[in-house]
């Protein structure tokens, strides 16, 4: 039986959500030796993706990343619709699918899951698994699992609400900047999806976790927000820039960081989430750095360029070449691929280019799905 009062005291402390989830997992398995896995799946745009995983029967999968479309049938859509818990006393009785077989092969035998809602929408689902059949059949254990799910719900909602005010202000700043930006809303939508897709593909090679993917999807569209401060005669020019005009245009990276700092200055320091907004500013400031060190504004080279900026640069150039602009016609996909490969290792991180070209069909689908009107 869990000590509800003690748990509530722990989670009244202002820590990062992932730290709280780690603590909660340890509290749960200390009290229930049969518990074997805790995971939180985020639900967004009809996609399900891992946010947090702790599996004591298969620790190698604690950092696993996966994302998939939510099907029309099965456990997840059923919970989203009913917004109530689901208890599976014996996983082996379920219709076999890759996920169930994975859990059974790891040694998990039963499951308890509960959807988490925010403003009437399911935003996540909590999954508990146990190494024993019928583990969750007892009403006392069900009660404790519901309590733990409620605590996780509170943590997730608190994270959403604390960031919501700053995020709304940043979104307003992005919309203001976009009014003046000659690039389309479609470009911003595609940037979010190209960047998160690239990050997911690179996760096998590089240190990319669930938070990294969430952040790059959230912030990729902000990369050119600094163009708001560029004079119209330069921003909307159809001609090749003079050296002086190019110098002014290149300042949009610094201007973008200034805009973000101005937004953050209106909020208490405790709400600045240092790592969160450092990530955002890395994208804005460094998405024109070249892998060989010949980019701007700082001439960073290779791994010295933040990974999030390297990903966004590849996404940005890929989309810009495919799209019609004031100064150019749209290129064919073959021309774009040839250009990206020719500049791999000079302009672009080779790993990013390899991931894009290897999975080119996925990026073409994104381009076509979110095409400009």
Per-residue pLDDT of the chain (373 residues; tens, 9 = 90+): 788 888 877 776 666 777 888 889 999 999 999 999 999 988 877 778 888 899 999 988 887 777 777 777 666 777 777 778 899 999 999 988 888 999 999 999 999 999 998 888 888 899 999 999 999 999 999 999 999 999 999 888 877 776 666 777 777 777 766 666 656 678 888 999 999 999 999 998 888 888 899 899 989 999 999 988 889 888 888 888 899 999 999 999 999 999 999 888 877 776 667 788 899 999 999 999 999 999 999 999 999 999 999 999 999 999 999 988 767 789 999 999 999 999 999 999 999 999 999 999 999 999 999 887 7
pLDDT attached to residue 190: 93
What is the domain extent for residue 309?
A: 181-369
CB of 20 within 8 A of CB of 12? no
**Phi, then psi, of 305 in degrees rounded to 5:** -80, 125
Residue 126 maps to a domain: yes
Residue with tokens 């669930």: 210
- Asked whether residue 206 falls in the same domain as residue 138, the answer is no
pLDDT attached to residue 184: 66
pLDDT attached to residue 38: 95
**Phi, then psi, of 103 in degrees rounded to 5:** -65, -45
Residue 173 maps to a domain: no
- Asked whether residue 275 falls in the same domain as residue 214, the answer is yes
Residue 340 maps to a domain: yes
Phi-psi region of 372 (alpha: psi -120 to 50; beta: other; left: phi over 0): beta
Q: Report the domain count for the chain.
A: 2
3-state SS class at 248: helix
Peptide bond into 310 cis (omega under 30): no
Q: What are 85's two structure tokens?
A: 């818990």
Residue 146 maps to a domain: yes
- Asked whether residue 285 falls in the same domain as residue 347, the answer is yes
- Asked whether residue 185 falls in the same domain as residue 141, the answer is no
- Asked whether residue 48 falls in the same domain as residue 124, the answer is yes
């Amino acid at each position: 039986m869990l000590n509800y009062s003690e748990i509530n005291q722990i989670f009244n402390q202002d820590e990062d959500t992932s730290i709280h989830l780690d603590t909660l997992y340890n509290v749960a398995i200390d009290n229930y030796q049969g518990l074997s896995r805790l995971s939180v799946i985020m639900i967004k745009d009809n996609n399900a993706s891992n946010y947090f995983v702790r599996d004591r029967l298969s620790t190698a999968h604690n950092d696993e990343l996966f994302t998939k479309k939510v099907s029309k049938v099965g456990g997840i859509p059923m919970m989203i619709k009913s917004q109530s818990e689901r208890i599976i006393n014996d996983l082996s009785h379920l219709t076999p699918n890759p996920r169930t077989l994975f859990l059974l092969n790891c040694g998990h035998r039963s499951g308890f899951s509960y959807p988490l809602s925010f403003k009437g929408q399911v935003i996540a689902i909590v999954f508990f698994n146990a190494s024993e059949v019928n583990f969750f059949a007892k009403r006392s254990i069900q009660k404790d699992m519901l309590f733990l799910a409620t605590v996780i719900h509170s943590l997730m909602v608190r994270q959403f609400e604390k960031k919501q005010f700053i995020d709304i202000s940043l979104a307003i700043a992005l919309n203001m900047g976009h009014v003046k930006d000659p690039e389309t809303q479609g470009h911003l939508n595609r940037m979010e999806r190209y960047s998160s897709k690239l990050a997911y593909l690179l996760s096998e090679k590089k240190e990319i976790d669930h938070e990294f993917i969430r952040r790059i999807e959230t912030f990729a569209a902000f990369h050119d927000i600094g163009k708001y401060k560029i004079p119209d005669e330069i921003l909307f020019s159809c001609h090749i820039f003079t050296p002086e005009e190019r110098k002014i245009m290149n300042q949009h990276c610094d201007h973008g960081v200034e805009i973000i700092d101005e937004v953050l200055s209106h909020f208490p320091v405790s709400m600045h989430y240092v790592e969160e907004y450092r990530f955002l500013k890395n994208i804005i400031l460094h998405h024109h750095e070249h892998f060989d060190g010949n980019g701007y504004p700082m001439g960073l080279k290779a791994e010295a360029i933040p990974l999030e900026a390297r990903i966004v640069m590849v996404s940005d150039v890929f989309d810009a070449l495919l799209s019609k602009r004031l100064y150019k016609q749209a290129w064919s996909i073959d021309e774009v691929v040839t250009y990206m490969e020719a500049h791999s290792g000079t302009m672009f991180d080779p790993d990013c280019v390899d991931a894009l070209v290897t999975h080119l069909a996925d990026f073409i689908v994104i381009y076509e799905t979110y095409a400009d009107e």
